[in-house]
Structure 1
Amino acid sequence: MTSNTKLIDDPEGEIEVGTKEKTQDAGNMEDGMMPLTEPQSMQQTLDGQFISTMPKVRTTDGHMVNWDRNIVVNQLLKETTLSEWYHGIDSITKEEAHEIARETEKRVRSMNIKFLSGPLIRELVNMILLERGHLEWRNISTRVGSPVFDACEIDQGSGFEANENANLQENAETSHKKKADKISKEQYLLLLPPKVADLHLNGDLHIHDLEYFGTRAFCQDWDLRYFFYYGLMPDGSGAKASVAGPSMKAEVAMLHAVKALGSAQTNFAGGQGFYNFLTFCAPYFEGKSYKEIEQLMQMFVYEMTQMMVARGGQLVFSSVQLSPGVPKMWKDKPVVYRGRVWDGTDGTDRRVYGDYEREVRLGFQALMNVMLEGDYWGKPFNFPKPEISIEPDFMVEDEMFNRAHPDLPTYDELYDLTFELTAKYGTPYFDNQLPEYRGAGEGISCYQCCAYQFSATPEEDAEFEDKMYFKDGKHFSMGSWQVVSLNCPRAGYEADGDDQKLFAHLKHLMDEAMDVFSTKVKWMTPIIENGRMPFATQQPKDPVTGKKGAIAVDIDSLVFTIGVVGLNEMVQYHTGSQMHESKAAFKVGIRAMTEMEMYGRELSQKYGMEIALARTPAETTGQRFAVSDMLHEEYREKVLSVVKGDVKAAVEGIKNTHDLPVYYTNGTHVPPGADVSLIDRINIEHVFFPIVDGGDIMHIWMGEGSPDAKGLKEFAMNIARNTQVGYFAFTKDMTVCMDDFHMMSGLKDACENCGSDHVEQLSRVTGYIQAVGGWNAAKKQELEDRKRYASADMI
């Protein structure tokens, strides 16, 4: 660009502007503030006069350009149009944009600087916008990014959210993800209504997976029949990736299942799972021996635990619901596989899932045995999470089938395997569908992700029957749009002992969560319309008609989840006692959750959104809320009276870090470290399951190296039959030596085999098993605090 200059009339006096030979795009104007070649501070005109010059500007697209005030004007005119969409505020007028541009130029001149960059110009513009009272314009016009030092810390594995997600490992993709996360979170907080953004930053509520808020849904449980009928289109459109037709062989079917969950990670922020996994896979196992089926299960498990392809180079957060036989409601339904619905209408044989009881039982046995063996080092497989379904259908043996097939394992023997796996690794999760509120046999229900529950019933879904028969490709898709968690202890601090104030504040927070959800819907509508969630909205080629098939995910059926954190600490501050310490405190907890659950129904009706109340896994949220309350002067003494963990260390360290060893109790749980019997813990926690319709879990921390599998089974079945606990897990602590690969029970600081201290401890962080080294300080403290139970405690 030539350096022609001219003098123009200006209210502030004669100033120099660059040529208008080419106006740079505003988005290309920025870059890090870099020293440029020292410019001449004065320039001589043809008549010998000297005028002040402006330094050149370094742009983000790698050019040096002359200063041009019109770039600032055009930038403001373009960028503030976003304020109309995101904040409902008119964009800037041309007159005011010119005023701000002139003021910006005036301030640059007064600084007498020798270098100029886009970010510096933007900072000056934003300062002027704030001075003029235009916060929304400033939020739109500011930039997001990271100081160079912070970015370097991320590359080294420290700094920003270093221990935010225990499933992440240290690699280049993780660094890339965290840098992107940082930018995305800043962007969305600037674009959210300022009041909502402040509630998140202030710790009143927590918007989960904020980095993906504007681009994708939260989590999804898939109906495998969809992929067995249509085949696999990994990119959702067929334009970028190769498209595979329906799998004809079992090996391909397993690979399609694996890659479907991996591909879905591009469209969802949370976990991915398969409902009724073995029943839908069973037709592919027809005629195969046990060993062949075991090989298929081994391939599936290893693929799921070796694909470092999820967000930031992590394993796919996955789960599979497992029944030991074909559930009664599926026995007479036509099978869907090899690109067909085998209902007999096309002249072929009618085949139903009940014909594949053998294959389901062998598949269950094989999957348990694969997981019992562990990997090559003997470590447990942490994914896919095996969700063992305890259903009425399998509490009584099918004696006729058993007599006809004496070589096959019974339901009881298959459940035995799950508790052998529990005793060895603590891997299984138990999905208890026996309680009446679960509605077993009346609809579809499953747990997924970190214990979020999804369901579909004929009463709620007019197409339920068509989906059972896969009519016209209709199928089940269950998932969540977004999770927002509430800081319950803060509601207690605000209520100051008044019940009505307490419930009112909780409902107020739920109202604020609805603003978040409404914003999510508004933002995601153009994302979907513009094809930016292609895997979820794909419509593959129908293998029978050759036309576009059914959409993969029923977007309108996704629920909105309101999570609960710290109910116990809320009650403790409100009443002076924890829920396990007095009946009065316990009743306040029940009343609060009931009020929230009822209000959630009102909100569902009011907004036309399905609201689900859930226990938040709170891998980091329990810590974040506690630390946030400690940082607020008005709450500091209050939080210190109820918070769990190492309070002294937190108080001493809060000026240096926010990764502190303190936390609020997850969901509606009794605190992990509470010195109560296991029976008392169950009697308290099970009451909340029917209330928390969006998902809950009860943790039983095992204290023995080699618990008795039969004893665990007897105890678990008593829980299933006699309580309302809908989902539970037995957690076993383990340690692996990274030098000689020796596996040990319990949390060890050194290898008992070789003496090396190069060990990695393993345990369940929230809803999955993972290496302790990646946990934050609060979760590590919780791990230390956990009250562990021996077999004798389960009698």
Structure 2
Amino acid sequence: MNVILWVGMRRVKRRKWSSMVLAASSAPIRLEVLKLLSSSGPLSYTEIMMSLQLNPVRDAGKFVYHLRNLMDAGLISLDRKTKKYGITELGGMMVKLARDVDEYVESKGGRLLVRTSRLTIEEFDRGKIVNSLVTEAGAPVGIAQEIAGEVEEKLIKLKTKYLTSPLIREFVNAVLIEKGFEEYRHRLTRLGMPLHDVARLFEDRPALTVTELERRTAHSVLKEYVLLNGVPRRVADAHLSGLIHINGLSEWTLKPDEVFHDLTVFLRRGLPPLDAPTSFGDAVALIEKLCFLTGLEVSRGVVLDSLNVYLAPFVESQDRRVLVEAFKAFLRSPGLGGYGRTLTLSLEASLPSYLKDVEAVGPGGRKEGTYQDYVEEAQTVTECLVEAVREISLKRMPTHVQVLFKMRNGVGERLAEKSLMELASKYALPYFAVCDVEEEVGFTPDGLMIGVDRVKDDLKGYLRSGNLGTVHVNIPRLHYESKGREERFFSLMESSVKAAVEALKSKRNALVKALKGRMLPLLSGEKDPYFSLEDAACVVSFVGLNEVVEARTEKPLHVAEGARYASHMVQFMGKLIKELEVSEELRIKLAQRSCEEGSERLAHVDLEKYGKDALRAEPSSPPYYTDIPLIPLSRKISLSQRVEAEASTQKNLDGGGLAVIPLRRVSVEALCGFNGQVLKAGCKAYTYTMEISHCHRCGFVSEGFLHTCPSCGAEHPIHLGRASAILQPTHMWPESRLRSSVNWVYHEL
């Protein structure tokens, strides 16, 4: 027992100590004083009176009497220097005793029952709050007990008969904030959706499948988790404030964005329970299963690189019709694509030099010469796939699968270009990428380019690897904050890029744990990881480049002055990223990527903050910033100007970009001729887009957004087009782009 307690009780006989202490704390006003000092710490005479809402004139005499009783009993003490009263150890024991009694009485009275997150109903137990504070928040036991006691008092005073775990947690967090324990409050945050938000999802259920409803609710919780615990606080604040946009936030700590498959691994050894394929049909079926399983472990997409080359040894002497039907069955598979994930079938126009001497994997996983022996078969595979896509499109366009055609040195060689251009002119389906014949490089549909290159002293590949994640920098925000000052603008750009890289680094660290813990069974592999984190790229992208160029130079991006300023910005980011690549030990690419959700979110955040000064991609439409295409389709510029502007920007992006070229009423012959002009301009990746109506009844495809089918008269045909990089029905477009599309300009050749 401390000295002060001895002094306060020195005249009291031992057998009367307990009686005196109990008597001193029995008056309600004295017990309130003890609880107040226990929770708030030392207070002055005036502060105690004000906290208890006592009248300094009317209640002064009685209050002095109560304080003297507490001091004589050794329950409180007075610091003569500060003139403040504090609770003693014995006083703290009495507060705890009082709370224990309150808890016992309340629980026996049946008034404090809690509906827990474990779907049970239990009596309130203050000890569980203490345990949560210690285990979840890392709070010391003493602080945890103090907080739990105060929360219990507040709950008892409410006299509510309906307590839930979330409500109790809210009270705990409120008390933590009152006491300045912000870090403990942060760790104790509960994740979940408000009841109203979930109810709205159920109200919208006719427009949502059950799977989609479940996905949205789960993603809501995961997004909160990532922002609270998956990335550093500074990065979370940058995302929430609109400085950056973390793409695929809900799966940020769980999955990589994209995987580039090495098909030889699975064609050689099979994919359990499937053995190594012995025929072309078996090989396609195995690839279908591979795509389905991979789709569960990536957040953005799967790329089957050089698909026609790797399938060539399985062609043998099979009839072309067999190959076409195998591909049609593959394209009809319901397990491909979906929920924002893309499946890219990447085809080689000519055999890359680095594959010529590679041992070919044939039926049964056997070695069958080299891939140089199967050049004609590779072309046959391409032709059969194109034919399968064309036939499927007569009923329903396979927008869930992206066909990408790699032209090496711009030459299609013996490929039947006319059939591919027919897909482009009628269905706007294929994507085109350009690279050298010896260049080992893969592309995604939105133009992301990852190849074999050197980082520091290491040679990095891309097969059995891919892209970990993408973060977009909000360039218009830098324009607003810099207020016209160039030095400030680029300083903010540097800090934004660093925040993006910090987010990417946190994702890499999370995926190390995910792969080691076999959360991603396919990518983790059996013994050695299939997916190489060491080779994987991280991508920094941007939105609003076009708007900022116009705002800062008063010139459009497609003219010389605007193009120079755009190049200056992109080169600045590229140089900074190369420096960070070394210092952070990450493989980082700067790319122009699709960001439909982020471009709209960031524009709305900026509109709320900056009002009429906020920039827009389309001044007369709902707010969004440009991503892909680089220049809004509403701009009335020539096709050559658009293509040259895209090509000029792509030259400064080591991670690539995609030129979207809007056309109408185009013939196959005219498109073949124009395609040469695009290649000459220097675009590394591009696609053609147009307005398409596809009849859900007869499958007839016509140009333009029509209200009825010209063939069978059915109403409301499906409207398709590109809001950004991916061809999809317009009902899946962001609202801002759907409404602005009435002003988009499509060109005749």
Aligned counterpart in structure 1 of residue 186 of structure 2, from 139, 147, 164: 139
Within 2, Cα distance between the matches of 1:575 and 1:258? 50
Whether the 8 Å contact between 1:221 and 1:274 is mirrored in structure 2 is yes
Give the helix-richer structure, 1 or 2.
2
Corresponding residue number in structure 1 for 2:117: 60
Partners of 2:248 and 2:277 in 1: CA distance: 34
**Residue in 2 aligned with 1:171?**
209
Alpha-carbon distance in 2 for matches of 1:730, 1:782: 19
Contact 1:181 1:211 in 2 (8 A): yes
Which among 179, 198, 207 is matched to residue 151 of structure 1? 198
Of 588, 598, 601 in structure 2, the residue corresponding to residue 624 of structure 1 is 601
Cα drift, residue 336 of structure 1 = 2.1
SS in structure 2 of the partner of residue 92 of structure 1: coil
Conservation of the 8 A alpha-carbon contact between 1:261 and 1:273 = no
Letter in 2 for 1:172: V
Taking the TM superposition and a 5 Å limit, the aligned residue runs for 1:453-492 are 453-457=449-453, 476-492=463-479
Larger Rg, first or second structure (1 or 2): 2
Partner of 2:553: 575
CA contact (8 A) 2:616 2:623 kept: yes
State whether structure 2 residue 335 is matched by structure 1 residue 307: yes
CA contact (8 A) 1:567 1:668 kept: no
Whole-angstrom CA distance in 2 between matches of 1:321 and 1:569: 33
Structure 2 residue 725 is matched with structure 1 residue 695 = no
- Counterpart secondary structure, 2:599: helix
Q: Conserved in 2, the CA contact under 8 Å of 1:155 and 1:172? A: no
**Cα distance change on mapping 1:126 and 1:462 into 2, 3 Å:** closer
Q: Measure the CA separation in 2 of the matches of 1:739 and 1:595.
A: 52
- Whether 1:644 aligns to 2:617 is yes
Q: Is the 8 A contact 1:297 1:363 kept in 2?
A: no
Question: What's 2:419 paired with?
Answer: 417
Q: 1:432 to 1:698 in 2, by over 3 A?
A: same
- For residues 573 and 330 of structure 1, the distance between their equivalents in structure 2, rounded to whole angstroms, comes to 48
Identify which of 232, 239, 261 aligns with 1:193: 232
List aligned pairs for 1:205-604, cutoff 5 A. 205-233=244-272, 243-303=273-333, 306-307=334-335, 314=339, 317-338=342-363, 340=365, 342=367, 351-375=369-393, 377=395, 379-392=396-409, 394=411, 410-411=414-415, 414-433=416-435, 440-457=436-453, 476-539=463-526, 548=527, 551-580=529-558, 582-604=559-581
Structure 2 residue 709 is matched with structure 1 residue 671: no
| Aligned counterpart for 1:759 among listed residues 687, 708, 717 | 717
Question: Is the Cα–Cα contact under 8 Å of residues 750 and 757 in structure 1 kept in the other structure?
Answer: yes
CA deviations on 1:305-339 (whole Å, 9 max, x unpaired) are x326x6xx648520011123433332222102446
The answer to whether 1:115 aligns with 2:145 is no
Query: How far off is 1:18 after superposition?
Result: 9.8
CA distance in 1, matches of 2:354, 2:560: 41
Please give the alpha-carbon distance, in whole angstroms, between the structure 2 residues aligned to 1:341 and 1:443.
27
Alpha-carbon deviations, 1:191-214, whole Å to 9, x = none? 233322121111110001000011
State the structure with bigger RCO (CA 8 A, min sep 6), 1 or 2: 1
Q: SS at the partner of 1:507? A: helix
Q: 1:588 to 1:459 in 2, by over 3 A?
A: closer
Cα gap change, 1:533 to 1:172, in 2 (>3 Å) = same
Alpha-carbon separation, structure 2, partners of 1:42 and 1:735: 67
* C-alpha contact (below 8 Å) 1:668/1:688 kept by paired residues: no
SS of the residue 1:288 aligns to: coil
After TM superposition, give the deviation of residue 742 of structure 1 in Å: 4.0
Deviation (angstroms), 1:13: 6.3
Q: Look up the equivalent residue of 1:300 and give its one-letter code.
A: F
Match of 2:9 in 1: none
Please give the alpha-carbon distance, in whole angstroms, between the structure 2 residues aligned to 1:422 and 1:443. 25
Unaligned runs of 5+ in 2: 1-91
Normalising by the residue count of structure 1, what TM-score does the alignment of the two structures yield?
0.78
- Correspondent of 2:672 among 685, 696, 713: 713
What SS does the corresponding residue of 1:744 show, helix, strand or coil? strand
- Closer/same/farther in 2, CA of residues 442 and 360 from structure 1, 3 Å limit: closer
Letter in 1 for 2:386: M
Q: Structure 1 residues 18 and 259 mapped into 2: Cα distance closer, same or farther (>3 Å)?
A: farther
Percent identity, aligned pairs only, is: 22
- Asked if residue 789 in structure 1 is aligned to residue 747 in structure 2, the reply is yes
* Contact 1:17–1:67 (8 Å) recurs in 2: no
Q: Which residue type is aligned with residue 282 of structure 1?
A: A
Amino acid at match of 1:111: L
Partner secondary structure for residue 784 of structure 1: helix
Q: TM-score of the superposition, structure 2-length normalised? A: 0.83
Q: Which amino acid aligns with 1:177?
A: R
Q: How far is the alpha carbon of 1:694 from its aligned partner?
A: 1.4
- Cα pair 2:516 2:524 within 8 Å, conserved: no
Spell out the pairing of 1:52-131 with structure 2 (5 A cutoff). 54-80=111-137, 91-131=138-178
- Deviation per residue, 1:674-722 (Å, 9 max, x gap): 1111111122221111211112010111122xx11111111112221x2
CA deviation vs aligned residue, 1:710-765 (integer Å, no higher than 9, x gap): 11111112221x22210111112111344555432211133334555433211123
Q: Contact conserved, 2:452 with 2:459, CA < 8 A, in 1?
A: no
Report what 1:775 is aligned to: 733
Alignment CA distance shift 1:123-1:390 (3 Å): same
Question: Which residue number in structure 2 is paired with residue 85 of structure 1?
Answer: none
Change in CA separation of 1:157 and 1:727 when aligned onto 2, cut-off 3 Å: farther
Conserved 8 A contact 1:319-1:383: no
Range 357-366 or range 329-338, more displaced? 329-338
Distance 1:616 1:293, change over 3 A: same
Aligned 8 A contact 1:443 1:457 in 2: no
C-alpha distance in 2 between matches for 1:510 and 1:138 = 30
Deviations along 1:235-265, whole A, 9 cap, x unmatched? xxxxxxxx32212222111011111111012
Report the CA distance between 1:114 and its aligned residue: 1.7
Paired residues in the alignment total 658
Native 8 Å contact 1:334 1:341 kept in 2: no
Q: Structure 2 CA distance, aligned partners of 1:741 and 1:367?
A: 20
Residue 175 of structure 1 and its aligned partner are, at CA, apart by 0.7
Correspondence list, 1:25-44, <5 A: none
3-state SS of the aligned residue for 1:561?
strand
Quick one: which amino acid aligns to residue 11 of structure 1?
V
Residue 549 of structure 2 aligns with an amino acid whose one-letter code is: V
Q: Which of the numbers 581, 585, 590 marks the counterpart of 1:613?
A: 590
* Greater shift in the superposed pair: 774-783 or 707-716: 774-783
CA distance in 1, matches of 2:249, 2:340: 20
Tell me the distance in 2 between the aligned counterparts of 1:751 and 1:322: 33
Residue deviations 1:642-689, cap 9 Å, x none?
313364x7xxxxxxxxxxx22111157122211111111122221111
1:106 and 1:752, CA in 2 relative to 1: closer, same or farther beyond 3 A?
same
Q: CA RMSD in A?
A: 2.7
Q: Report the AA paired with residue 738 of structure 2.
A: K
